[in-house]
Structure 1
Amino acid sequence: MYQHILLPTDGSPASAAAIQSALQFAREAGARVTALHVLPEFHTFTLQAAQLEDTYESYMRETSDHAAAMLNVLARKAQAMGVRCETVMHRSDQPHRKIVETAQTHDCDLIIMATHGLTGLKGMVLGSQTHKVLLESSVPVLVFNASKAEH
């Protein structure tokens, strides 16, 4: 059925719950997983060139190190469950676009991701990366609603 699953993660508790379920699903389906984390771009908040350069380098290093550690934990969980796992990092202020793009370029046949379950004004203001992926992806998307799983 499914052979290659894209598993985007933002490191949130909702994402962690989806990861566990997605890895179990992948193991049962005999599928491999590509774990993806999209890091935000650096944005300038100062006019002092020296501070900007130091801040930029430190931001890039710290965010990359954090993402690599998070993806490494996910890869170890996959390995422990007998699921082949590749990890990928991208930078973008539009994570949904990188998720859709990665699914296509890596020939994934399913995306499994979490939703935070935000509704009302909060959901409208913050936007939903999951909703945007659902709208733009030609690859099927399985959504794990972590807020419902907690009850």
Structure 2
Amino acid sequence: MFKTVLIPTDGSPLSTQALEQALDFAREIGAEATVLAVIEPLQVFTINPAGMEIAHAEYERRAHEEADAFLANAKEAAKQRQVACDTVKLVGLDPARCITETAEKRNCDVIAMASHGRSGFKAFMLGSVTMKVLAGSKVPVLIYR
């Protein structure tokens, strides 16, 4: 039924747990996996921009390093489960849109993701990425808690 599972992750503990469960699911049904990391650009509004170039460059470097690390871990977890796995890293202001567009572009049959990732004020201000994916996806969405 499902041939390709898209697994978005932000590296949070719940997201990593969902990744492992989604890889187990992919193995059970004989599907391939695509693991997606979306890096949100640094957005700072200030009337004193001195030094912001350095802060921005450092944020970008760290965000890419972290994404590369959890994508490498995902690739290894898939290998251990004998699941064919591809990884994708994108930069985008709207992670939910990146997820749904990637599912469409890569012909994924299902999106499997955590019920939530980030917590606190940032999650409150951004709204739930999971809820936005549920609302905007053209393919089924499997939510792990």
| TM-score, length basis structure 2 | 0.88
Task: State the alpha-carbon separation in 2 of the partners of residues 64 and 91 from structure 1.
Answer: 9
Deviation (angstroms), 1:125 = 5.3
Structure 2: gaps of 5 or more residues: 118-122
Task: State the alpha-carbon separation in 1 of the partners of residues 4 and 82 from structure 2.
Answer: 14
Structure 2 residue corresponding to 1:47, chosen from 46, 49, 68: 49
Q: SS of the counterpart of 2:98? A: helix
Task: State the alpha-carbon separation in 1 of the partners of residues 131 and 56 from structure 2.
Answer: 31
Task: State the alpha-carbon separation in 1 of the partners of residues 59 and 49 from structure 2.
Answer: 17
Name segments (4+ residues, structure 1) moved above 3 Å. 123-126
**Does residue 56 of the first structure (1) align with residue 56 of the second (2)?**
yes
Cα deviations by residue, 1:81-104 (Å, 9 ceiling, x for unpaired): 100111111112211000001001
Q: SS of the counterpart of 2:2? A: coil
Q: 2:37, 2:67 within 8 Å by CA — same for their partners in 1?
A: yes
Task: State the alpha-carbon separation in 2 of the partners of residues 72 and 124 from structure 1.
Answer: 29
Deviation (angstroms), 1:127 = 1.9
Task: State the alpha-carbon separation in 2 of the partners of residues 86 and 3 from structure 1.
Answer: 13
**Does residue 110 of the first structure (1) align with residue 110 of the second (2)?**
yes
Task: State the alpha-carbon separation in 1 of the partners of residues 103 and 128 from structure 2.
Answer: 18
Equivalent in the alignment of 1:129: 129
Letter in 2 for 1:95: P
RMSD of aligned alpha carbons: 2.1
Task: State the alpha-carbon separation in 2 of the partners of residues 93 and 60 from structure 1.
Answer: 14
Equivalent in the alignment of 1:148: none
Matches within 5 A, 1:9-24: 9-24=9-24
Task: State the alpha-carbon separation in 2 of the partners of residues 55 and 80 from structure 1.
Answer: 38
Task: State the alpha-carbon separation in 1 of the partners of residues 95 and 144 from structure 2.
Answer: 17
Letter in 1 for 2:87: T
| TM-score, length basis structure 1 | 0.85
